[in-house]
């Protein structure tokens, strides 16, 4: 069992976004498993990583996302940082007029429902930092 922090830079090139995210999720899952995290925590962490990283890369214009994860006193923490557009995923979004099923926007709601807490900060150097506390198993 390891208690070391996990870190990874997600930097997709061209059409390799899905493969890069899948690799990052697999590496995060392996680290959490080795640290003794249960299957629910691992599934939650993968969902949070995928949704927040995809939003930063696809919609925020970020070229890369820095991921770190560690076990804190209150549970597993995930931190994602990117230099994309300023955006606070911890705040609810109003659905665009006429938005129907299948038009997206559910990922952030899933992150908020999955997490025990979501905190966002726009850092002075122009980066977004999102920290997510996962609930205990």
pLDDT digits (tens, 9 = 90+) for 70-99: 999 999 999 999 999 988 777 765 554 444
pTM > 0.85: yes or no: yes
In the chain, domain spans: 6-13+16-93+105-133
- Long-range Cβ contacts of 100-109 (<8 Å, 24+ apart): 107/51, 107/54, 107/55, 108/51, 108/55
* Helix intervals (H) in the chain: 17-34, 39-54, 106-114
pLDDT digits (tens, 9 = 90+) for 14-46: 778 999 999 999 999 999 999 999 999 999 999
| DSSP 3-state of 115 | coil
CATH number of 6-13+16-93+105-133: 3.30.565.10
C-alpha distances (whole Å) from 14 to each of 9, 17, 19, 58, 80 are 16, 7, 11, 12, 21
Mean pLDDT, the chain, rounded, equals 88
């Amino acid at each position: 069992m390891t208690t070391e922090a996990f870190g990874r830079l997600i930097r997709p090139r061209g059409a390799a976004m899905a493969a890069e995210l899948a690799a990052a999720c697999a590496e995060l899952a392996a680290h959490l498993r080795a640290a003794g995290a249960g299957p629910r925590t691992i599934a939650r962490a993968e969902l949070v990583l995928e949704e927040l990283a995809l939003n930063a890369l696809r919609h925020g214009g970020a070229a890369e996302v820095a991921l770190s994860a560690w076990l804190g006193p209150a549970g597993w923490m995930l931190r994602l940082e990117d230099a994309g557009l300023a955006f606070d995923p911890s705040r609810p979004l109003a659905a665009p007029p006429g938005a129907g099923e299948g038009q997206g926007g559910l990922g952030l709601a899933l992150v908020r429902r999955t997490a025990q807490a979501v905190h966002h900060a726009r850092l002075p150097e122009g980066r977004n930092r999102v920290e997510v506390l996962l609930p205990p198993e």
